[in-house]
A and B are shown apart, each in its own frame.
Chain A
Amino acid sequence: MIQVAIPSGLRPLTGGALRVEIAARDVRGAVAALDARFPGFAAALGRSFAVAIDGEIVQDAWHEPLPAGSELHFLPALAGGA
């Protein structure tokens, strides 16, 4: 199981829940599990997002594996300057 922090903008879909526990092996699976439990979640999230897995930010994370017990946050995709 993994812990998912629900972004503020998507909490109406989760009945206000801030965190949920789901079973998923990767980010794609997590989005599918969330969408199954909270219909419309995947569409509201879109495909342009980054994630943080146990505090590490990953862009383009669709296939990123989720270790058991990990914590997943959805973040906006970021642009950088340099």
Chain B
Amino acid sequence: MSEAKKFRWVGTRPIRHDGVDKVTGRASFGADLSFPDMLWGRVLRSPHAHARIAGIDTSKALALPGVKAVVTAADLPKLPSVEAGGGEGAANMRDLSHNVLARDKVLYHGHALAAVAATSDEAAEQALAAIEVVYEPLAPVLSIDAALAPGATLLHAELRTRGADANLPNVASRIVFSRGDPEAAFAAADIVLERSFETQTVHQGYIEPHAVVARTNADGQSVVWCCTQGPFMVRAYCAAVLGLELSQLKVIPSEIGGGFGGKTTVYIEPLAVLLSRKTARPVKMVMSREEVFRATGPAGAARVLVKLGAKRDGRLVAGTARLWYEAGAFPGSPVQAGAMTVLAPYALDHFLIEGFDVVVNKPKTAAYRAPGAPQAAFAVESLLDELAQQLGLDPIELRLANAATEGTQAPYGPRFKKIGMVETLEAARAHPHYHAPLGPNQGRGVAVGFWFNGGMSSSAELHLTEAGSAVVATGNPDIGGSRVSLAILAAEELGIDVQKVRPVVGDTESVGYTDMTGGSRVTFATGIAVIEAARDVVRQLRARAAKLWDCDPAQVAFVDGRCVPVEGSGLAREPLSVAEIAGKMGSTGGPINGQAQLTARGAGPGFATHLCDVEVDRETGRVDVIRYTAVQDAGRAVHPSYVEGQMQGGAAQGVGWALNEEYVFDARGVLENPGFLDYRMPVASDLPMIDTVVVEVPNPGHPYGVRGVGETPIVPPLAAVANAVARATGVRMRALPISPPRLLAALGGGAA
């Protein structure tokens, strides 16, 4: 499908259309909208990590001046336990409802159980204090070990382990991938290593907290303004939780100040709708940073046990992996993706992979950039580094000797088409960074990452103006520069200047159904819809030119933005530009608009190789990243600046995951660091310039060869950093984060 083509706009770096508004502070984000008669909504949250709700009395709160409504789970329909699609993957709507407002039990500290609308934020806050709740506290389950222990307190009495012969306490599902006979293959190996790795709960850390305004019109339709990765998802989820028809909801996405997967579900959105329907007034709700940490979905803690067997030359002969992922309060960790990705970069004939989805009394996890993959890659890429050290092999050579290539059967089943794993390794090996000398207490780590990349459903409309410029309307909120990337694709097809294409993010009533911005799918999948919509316009332009030239459309070609006679047609006509034809569209048949809708197949998997140099202060345990290079196969970089930006952003988030970030819970399950002061994410001064190398191995499933790029770059950094620390210190850290106290303790232990 990928077409050999010389590009005019693809691969260039025009200024993004939304850039000026964003850098001058004019862009409108979730919390920026207000109405004159607006009410303020607030949420009452549980002070217990695990408790039965014996009773809620809202009468005193309702009696307070300024309080207009109070809602609890009793105001929501009881839903059956069924999974419904909302875009990407499926969500259990009963669990979603119980997460929006707890029913019967609270399952984590900060779990919402009532919401208030009042005439001021202060009045709403006072009303929360007047709600009387009787709790019967239960023992909190705060770790994988505690959840799995025989006789463990159960979060959900009815939960049965799907995919297992025997029920396992607090395990929602077990998944297995296997091939060959790993035990026999291990017996024939020259070396076998088995190690256990742990990662902690981390948050996406998007700058913009969740925010929503809901207004219910006189006809009963509620209009929702919010920051989200998926307006159609918000419409579907709010409808399910509230028992409404989709036509009773309209969702208008604001600009979005980061999502990284964390805004692919709903929290306060259904509450704002419900409160606005009860009061017939607009209701605004904005989460505090503390609420974001306590009650929105992080990436869960995980334990991964990996075993690898190899020959002396480094060839892997077998691997096993057992993965336990915390899902938080409700089933649905990304352990499936962890299990599918853990060995995917390597060609292996014998393996057994087993994953467990474990519920604990912590916030329900949400997607976080390549969900499930970083935890798994940390384990296998760390073990490969140790294997390389023990065999005396170069870590890149070891990976090249085992790299998946076109035709390799992935552990999860299908065979890879054209992929760029080898090309990213070779580019990293050839990079000056890989050969630069290291100083004392410095080390260099290498790690690889893989992500599937998504396709899914998208719609696109392309409207030609009478001056020959264009509007591209799609339904994906722009997280990482997708507007300008989609404009580039339209400009490329139409042969017009990219700044003459205005990209618009529509609402649920102005554009066709489109799945969420997620899965690294927008530039790929919605991009294909834009290309097809543009080709629809080109067909119409040729027909209009034929009308103007009084010939058959088959005699008209479209070349470099102009209609010209087909070579050999015998037709002698001066070329017609898009603007010239557009100027006559009223007299040649009316407006020219293109349209496309599709479910995209052929998303090309993404591979990346990262190089990380660290310097370790042995007196304090502090680790400084002093050089970092990210190499990734983008298939075709539509706007290289935003490909590089994704690579740099993913690397930065991964470095934070590796070195500092972790939720710290006390014994009662109370999060002790719900703010950026104590939850330490990397800031610009913590990091060097992250160098990028964009490798382009065209994806055969896209007309231009595009692959998704947003998620892969967070997969390698955890191990790249840990491997660098291991090589700098001789101490291998198998539990993240490698924070100064942890590393200092490990260094002390190593010296003893």
Contacts and interface: CB of A to CB of B under 8 A. Distances in A.
Contacts of B416: 55
Contacts of A57: 414, 452, 455, 601, 603
B334 interface: yes
Contact of B85 (A55, A60, A74): A60
A81 interface: yes
Contacts of A52: 412-414
B327 to A, nearest CB: 12
B518 A75 contact: no
A8 B175 CA distance: 8
B520 A82 contact: yes
Contacts of A73: 412-414
Interface stretch (B193-201, B367-375, B629-637): B367-375
Contact of B175 (A9, A48, A59): A9
Contacts of A20: none
B176 A8 contact: yes
Contacts of A55: 414-417
Interface residues of A, number: 27
Contacts of A82: 229, 259-261, 369, 479-480, 517-522, 710-711
Nearest to A49: B90
A77 interface: yes
Interface in A25-82: 46-48, 52-60, 71, 73-82
A78 B601 contact: no
Given A9-B163, A55-B415, A56-B701, A81 B371 contact: yes
Contacts of A47: 83
B456 interface: yes
A5 interface: yes
B260 A9 contact: no
Contacts of B711: 80-82
Given A80-B88, A82-B369, A82-B711, A58 B414 contact: no
A14 to B, nearest CB: 14
B424 interface: no
B434 interface: no
Contact of B368 (A7, A56, A60, A81): A81
Contacts of B340: 75-76, 78
Interface residues of B, number: 52
Interface string B507-531: 0000000000111111000000000
B151 interface: no
Nearest to A71: B414
B337 interface: yes
A68 to B, nearest CB: 18
Nearest to B519: A80
A77 B369 contact: no
B371 A77 contact: no
A45 B245 CA distance: 29
Nearest to A57: B452
Nearest to A8: B176
Contacts of A5: 413
B176 A59 contact: no
B264 interface: yes
A8 B336 CA distance: 13
B296 to A, nearest CB: 14
Interface string B364-399: 000111110000000000000000000000000000
A79 B412 contact: no
Nearest to B480: A82
Contacts of B455: 57-59
Contacts of B454: 59, 78, 80
A78 B519 contact: yes
Interface of A: 5, 7-9, 46-48, 52-60, 71, 73-82
